[in-house]
Each structure stands twice: as C-alpha cells, then as structure tokens.
Chains A and B, each alone.
Chain A
Amino acid sequence: MSKHDTPMMDDLEKGPWPSFVSDLKRQAAKSPQCWDILGQMEQSYKDKITHWKHGGIVGVFGYGGGIVGRYSDLPDKFPGVAHFHTVRLNQPSSKFYTTEILRKLCDLWEKRGSGMTNFHGSTGDLVLLGTKTDELEPLFYDLTHDLNWDLGGSGSNLRTPANCIGKSRCEWACYDTDAVCYAMTMKYQDEIHRPAFPYKFKFKFSGCPNDCVAAIARSDLAVIGTWRDAIRINQAEVKNYISGANKPNGGAHSKGSKFDIQKEVISLCPTGCMWMEGDTLKIDDAECTRCMHCLNVMPKALRPGTDQGATIMMGAKAPILDGAQLATMIYPFIKLDAENEFEGLVEIIEKVWDWWMENGKNRERLGETMQRISLPVFLRVLEVEPIPQHVKEPRSNPYVFWREEEVEGGWERDVKEFRKRNAM
C-alpha cells in the first residue's frame, strides 16, 4: 500500500517499457523505504530540484572509496531515505556471474540494505543503492568474508577498471581483455581503494576498435585492441556474401534485399581503401583506419590481422565540469604480454600518473590537463615522437610545433641579411 500520493511517478508505469517505478513498488513489499524513494522523487518532480544531498564522511575502515554518502534534505518527511548510501562493488571481468553468487548477493543486500541494485553503473561497477551508515561495516565484512567480493572505486581514486567480453567470447578481440583488466585491478588495489589523484581516473579495455566498453568516450586511459598487419581476407567467403549464401551482419538488420558489397561495404569505407578487382576484394591496409565496418558486415570473410596489440588513447571524459571529450590517440600500437606482466602498459600508466598528479589541478580530468598544458608537452613528457596521426589534419589543428633546438640555427637570425633578400 503506497505511503505517499505519487501521481507523476505512477505515470511512468504507463509506457510500453519496463518501469523502475513498478520495480520500486514491488521491492517496497520487502523494503518499505522504497515508498520513501518514490515519495521523495515525486517531491523533486514537483519542486524541480533534487532533494538528495550528496557526499559525506561515510566509508568502511581503511578504504577511501567504494561508498558514496547520500542523505535526504527532507528526512522528517521521508525517514526511510534519511541515509541512503550507495555501495559500489568491483564487477567481475566481462561481468560473468554465477546464479549462485547473485542469489547470495541479493539475500545479503536485502538483509543489509534496500534490496535495490543497478547492474551496472556507467563505470562498470555493480551498484547497491541505499543503506544506513550502521550497516556499512557489517555489509563489508559479509561481502569480503562470505562472498569474497571487494568494493570498487569512487571519488579521486582509480575507478574500477572495466573490459569488454574479449577473447572469452569474441573472435575480434586482439588481446586478452580479461587478463589485462584483472592484472591492472590487482596491481593497483591501493589506487582503487584510497584517493590518489586530482580527480577520478578510469581505465577501460576494449579488445577491438568496435570498443564495446566505450573506452574512447569514457576513460582517461583507453586500451583498444588493434592489429598492424593486413586484414585477413577469405575470398571464397567474400563470394558467398556476394552470392547471398552468407547473410551480412550475421543476419541482423536484414531487409530481405540482395547484399550489395559496393553499396554496403566498399562505398562506406571512410578512407576508400577497398575495391573489387573482378570478383576479388582488395584492401590497401596502409589506409585502413580500423573503423571495423567491413569486418562487422562480413565476419566470415574478413578478420583482424595476426600481428595484434593495442592502441593507447588518453583524455576522454563525460561532461561534468567541462564538455564531453573523446580520447586522443597517443601510442598507435603496443604489444601486451602477460609473460612480463604487461610491463609496457604499466610503464605508460605510471608515467602519466606521475605527470598528472604533479600538474593536474583539483577536479581536473587528465584530458583537461592535456588540453590546458598542450599535447606537445604531454608527448614530450611521455617521450613519444609526434607523428601525423596525432594531428587530426594539417592547419586546422597544428598543435605540434618545432622547438628551437630541433631547428637548424635556432630562432636567431640576421635580420639585415634577411632584409637584403626580402625587402619590406
């Protein structure tokens, strides 16, 4: 039985989609505080302001992340959500769960919290929504001792690393995203659990340029699988696509019309690096920008090359303080080797952190620091030689300049001598 009159919330149950309002009402049968969430949201819709105060000193002992304090500014009216803290859990790599662990987690969360969850937050964490301060330490004890499960990152910490499904299921993965994500999560436990930086820092690991974890848009340091040799072409399967024996896109988006390789693949190549010679598909691999369109349309015919590794991009962010920013390509290709514990990647990460910790302003993401201080300086710090691919196109953003020591004769010149040849 509803505790508050919530006509605007009730309206959100009327569309054709699953409704979080219906979910909350169902959960309220077990967790009465869910009525107060609905009541407070209705109040916010009426007042057109949030009634959540965020932030606080709550946490579990020894940790400086993973718990986000949440308080209602109308605690007398909605006592069930007077304290309603969020708990972030480190999701397993690729988000593989067993039913058994999920049942145990749900039982624990109904005992210690509201029972409401969010699978998953945009960083990737499994999010438990709403508990009281007194329940935090017992919840943490049960999570770590009974479920062998740890908290994720929040605040100015390394945020919980996230990866795509990678080689565990996907034939396009150019490196083992599960292995790298797990290795970095374990190596940087201190940075995940205790604040270290001017602001949040996110890693994301995508196995191929399809970028299923949106690393290029969301992470300060994106590791995106790629290859540096030629796309593998199976010409017999190309012919099967052309004849209609193979369905393009694995049968998705099919409108029943005959597949037209010229219209649906070759003409859509952003660099125009593909063409047909008779019934043979040709690719000028040096011009390929890894858009993945041809591989996605014809997966039986085209596969990534065999010399595989990753491109490292940096500086992406969602729009919180400044506008949204996509990542900038910094290292076109590195090898990722589990045998040496991914030392090439570790070296890059720590060089970036050292520079950003020293130069980043409070609440400034890496991408904002890069933009403020300039890409040439950033490349110099990382000891990366500028290459044409660092620049979108000449003249529209010519932000890589020569330095005096790189120019023969430096900046000094004899003006009189110059004027003899170039009169004013």
Chain B
Amino acid sequence: MAMSKEELKAAILDKAMKSPKPQLYVKDFYACDPDAKPRDVKNAANDLVKEGKMTFWSSGSTTMYAAKGRAKDEESRGT
C-alpha cells in the first residue's frame, strides 16, 4: 500500500538530506515508496520545494532536486 502524502514527503526529504549525492533526479525518489505512482512522487517533491525544504537545481535542459542548502549554488561560491 502506498504511503500517505506526508509520509512520502518525509521519506523524500530524508533521502535528499542523507544521499551522498547532493542533487537528485525525481526518479531517484521513486524508491522512497515503490507503491507510489511517479506523478505522486513528483507532486510530493514539488510540494517540498514550495515549502522551502527542498530546492530545484536546473542546468536549463534538465532539473534536479536538493535539500535546502545542499545544491551547488554558484552565487554562494562567490561568482
């Protein structure tokens, strides 16, 4: 049985904070709940961005997710 939306969000955030890679693709979160539909995982990850707990990182052609503060941020690197 699929997790509730709040449980799914907690699992996604946990993975985003603990993963060795700071930036993850949305597909990397599918394993947080194998019973959840990809669309539900995407919506949960996007909710976390709206809540300010995660952030998008985009190259322009692709988009990744990161826990707040973990993404490669060119501006804080003094550029």
Contacts and interface: CB of A to CB of B under 8 A. Distances in A.
B75 A155 contact: no
Contacts of B63: 64-65, 154-157, 195
Contacts of A86: 60
B36 to A, nearest CB: 11
Interface in B2-36: 25-28
A29 to B, nearest CB: 27
Contact of A194 (B25, B46, B73): B46
B58 A55 contact: yes
A4 interface: no
Given A195-B42, A195-B46, A54 B60 contact: yes
Q: Is the interface of B mostly helix, strand, loop or mixed?
A: mixed
A380 B14 CA distance: 37
A344 interface: no
A83 interface: yes
Contact of B59 (A155, A358, A361): A155
A82 B56 contact: no
Interface string A58-74: 11001011001101110
A320 interface: yes
A8 interface: no
Interface of B: 25-28, 37-39, 42, 46, 49-50, 55-63, 66, 71-75, 79
Given A59-B56, A195-B58, A362-B28, 13 more contacts: A56-B74, A57-B66, A58-B75, A62-B50, A73-B79, A83-B75, A83-B79, A86-B60, A157-B63, A194-B46, A195-B56, A354-B38, A360-B27
8 contacts: A55-B72, A57-B55, A57-B73, A65-B58, A71-B74, A157-B63, A194-B49, A362-B25
